[in-house]
Amino acid sequence: MKVKSPLEIYKLLPGTNCGECGFDTCMSFAAHILDRSAKIEDCKPLIEQAKKNDKAAEKLKKLIEITAPEVDEVVIGKDLKIGGKEVLHRHELTFFNPTALFFDVCDTMDEKTIDERCSRVVEYKKFYVGKYLTLDGIAVRCTSNNPDQFAEVAKKVAGYGKPIILVSLNAECMEKALKAVGSDKPLIYAATPENWMDFLKLAKKYSVPVVVRSKDLNMLKSLAATFKAHKISVVLDPVTEPAGKGLQRTFERVIQIRRTAILGQDKDINCPIMVTPIAAWTVEGDDIGKMYWETVIAALFIVKYGDIMIIHSVEPHTIMPLVTLRENIYTDPRTPVQVEPGLKAINNPDKNSPVLITTNFALTYYTVESDLQSSGASGWLLVLDTEGLGVEVSVAGGQFAPEKVKQLMEETKIAEKVNHRYLVIPGLAARLQGALEDETGWKILVGPTDSGRLKAWLEQNWPPGSGVEVKQ
């Protein structure tokens, strides 16, 4: 955003410190606006005043203007937001609005295929760090060149409830589809140097966001400026050329657009960028090669400035790496990915339950926790403060230290909670076995290197074998 100091925002707020926004003072609210952890609408008094008097309205307008993100935020469907970026490198703040992943169907596919693909998009979920990663929407392509058929399939796809992109360069087809699903606020693809006038009218008539498409960046900018002048939300497609020199040029176009928008303050092309990895399927080659290459293109532009994508492969083995990468790139680097160290009781453990230890790196913790939960086994899980590092790194780096383990065991009084003296450590911490036994006086059992195998491991190794007293 334009402003760099909370003071500039503060000056435009009511200044009453009423606390309605959820912050104690207007100044504190201003600071949260600045790092985008609060929204202007949350200052109810200002919104109310603006309705009544012109001066307040003027202030509100100014406030919205100076706090607008560097890259426009565009809404598709009910509430899918894309764009809204502020920076070129994630450590400078964070990347907002993760790349929206859309998967295609075309209106010449049979009903069963369409249903399978749409259901995949709706149902897909991958557990990751305490939540599920999901997919965003469906792109309906007009391959029939028949307006009625396109509209019919669009209607059907809209029924799945996901945001949609309508894909056709034919204004007649597009209009028919918009008649059917325009109220769902689809993104329409695409206005080109040839058809833009018709698409501009359609976008206005149905008030939907539109993708403008051209390889020529002068033309792309002209189209964007023209549509923006008509108050239409714009997404840029600088055309994804899927391989060879063309892909190199695509990379250049995407980088130049985003860099010029943010550093060059070009307010014509500061729009979300669309990338179409699906284009990989039109290069000569076999399906496996295309599948790999499509995934590579998608990954490339998840890292570098792609705000929305159309992808063809709905195979879980290509989706999973992509949603994971997207999550990694869009994780807020300002919030440490750590959990509270301490002791967690999993599935109501008792005095005979195993004691296990892991790190406070959120990812490790949630992985172990969810594996234990879903295995049905109960246990005591010690969470060691490794400064948010995983097992392997913290063992090598010394954060997973025997003294710290001992301290944690004393603090949590784990010895009082169980009748045995066995501690299960991660397989990746095996080299600490001796040192840990010396330090804690407990018997150390080396668990599996991956907690996904904990269930089987516990079945075999718990309670510990003969000669071991697990007191009743």
Partner 1 sequence: MPEGKITLEDILKLLSKYEIKELEGVKIEGGDIEIEFEMGAYPNFQAIGMELGLAAYHLARVAMMLGFPVQQLFAQQQPAYPAQIPQVPTQLKEEEKIELIEKKFEPYRQEWSGYVEEVQLGATPKEGGTRKYTIKLGGEKSLPFYLFDAEQPHLPSISVDVFDRAVPLPKAIRTHYEDVMGHPDEWAKKVIKDFGADAVTIHLISTDPLLDDTPPHEAVKTVEEVLQAVKCPIIVGGSGNKEKDPVLLEKVAEVAEGERVLLASATLDTDWERVGRAAKEHGHCVLAWTQMDINSQRTLNRYLLKRIGLPRDSLVMDTTTAALGYGLDYAYTNMERARLAALKGDEDLAFPISSGTTNAWGAREAWMKESPLEGDYSWGMREHRGPLWEILTGLTLSLAGVDIFMMMHPVSVAVLKELIHTLGGKKKEVEYEDWITSEL
Site residues for partner 1, 308-367, by CB under 8 A, read 312, 315-322, 324-325, 327-329, 331, 333, 361, 363, 367
Binding mask 14-53 for ligand SF4 (x = CB under 6 A): x-xxxxxx-x--x--x-------------x-xx-------
* Binding to partner 1, residues 184-223 (CB under 8 A): 189-190, 194-198, 200-201, 217-218, 220-223
The tokens 């997207």 sit on which residue?
A: 326
Output the CA torsion 265→305→274→161 (10° steps): -120
* Residue 171 contacts partner 1 per CB under 8 A: yes
- Retrieve residue 36's tokens: 């985008």
Taking the complex as a whole, the smallest distance from the CB of residue 58 to partner 1 amounts, in Å, to: 28
Give the Cβ contact number of residue 216 at 10 Å. Answer: 13
Strand partners, 343: 382
How far apart, in whole angstroms, are the C-alpha atoms of residue 455 and residue 462? 10
Name the residue nearer to ligand SF4 (CB basis): 47 or 415.
47
Residue 18 binds which entry of ligand SF4, partner 1, none, CB below 5-8 Å type-dependent? ligand SF4
- 243 contact, one of partner 1, ligand SF4, none, CB 5-8 Å limit per kind: partner 1
Stretch that binds partner 1, among 19-27, 72-80, 139-147, 463-471 (CB under 8 A): 139-147
Residue 390 site contact among partner 1, ligand SF4, none (CB < 5 to 8 Å, cut-off depends on kind) = partner 1
Q: Map tokens 């409830």 to a residue.
A: 161
Query: What residues contact residue 289 under an 8 Å CB cut-off, 6+ apart?
Result: none
38 vs 322 by CB, closer to partner 1: 322
Query: Which lies closer to partner 1 via its Cβ, residue 60 or residue 297?
Result: 297
- Interface stretch with ligand SF4, choices 8-16, 130-138, 401-409, 434-442 (CB under 6 A): 8-16
Contact pick of 450, 461, 464, 470 for partner 1 (by CB under 8 A)? 450
- Which residues lie closer than 8 Å to 64 by C-beta, 6 or more apart? 40
Please state, in angstroms and rounded to a whole number, the distance separating the CA atoms of residues 123 and 138: 13
Q: Which residue type occupies 200? A: L
In order of 205, 340, 373, 382, 387, the CA distances from 414 in angstroms are 67, 17, 20, 9, 22
Peptide bond into 190 cis (omega under 30): yes
Residue 169 contact among ligand SF4, partner 1, none, beta carbon within 5 to 8 Å by kind: partner 1
Strand order from edge to edge, sheet including 308-311: 234-237, 210-213, 187-191, 164-167, 137-141, 100-106, 308-311, 274-275
Minimum separation from the CB atom of position 9 to partner 1 (A): 27
Q: Where are the beta strands (DSSP E) in 312-464?
A: 342-346, 355-359, 379-384, 422-425, 443-446
Q: What is the CA radius of gyration of the chain?
A: 27
Of residues 406 through 445, those in contact with ligand SF4 by CB under 6 A are none
Q: If contact means CB under 5 to 8 A according to the sort of partner, which of ligand SF4, partner 1, none does residue 130 touch?
A: none
Measured CA to CA, the distance from residue 24 to residue 29 in angstroms comes to 8
As measured in angstroms, the least distance from the Cβ of 351 to partner 1 is 27
Given 15, 264, 441, 463, the residue binding partner 1 (CB under 8 A): 264
Show the tokens assigned to 112: 């069963």
What three-state secondary structure class fits 164?
A: strand
Would you say 358 and 391 are in contact if contact means Cβ atoms under 8 Å apart? yes
Taking the complex as a whole, how short is the minimal distance between the CB of residue 72 and ligand SF4, in angstroms?
25
Q: What is the total count of residues that contact partner 1 (CB under 8 A)?
A: 115
**Site for partner 1, residues 26 to 55, rule: CB under 8 A:** none
Min dist CB 344 to partner 1, Å, is: 18
What is the closest distance, in whole angstroms, from the C-beta atom of residue 291 to partner 1 in the complex? 7
Pick what 142 binds: ligand SF4, partner 1, none; C-beta below 5 to 8 Å, kind-dependent. Answer: partner 1
If DSSP codes are grouped into helix, strand and coil, which group holds residue 401? coil
Binding interface with ligand SF4 (CB under 6 A): 13-14, 16-21, 23, 26, 29, 43, 45-46
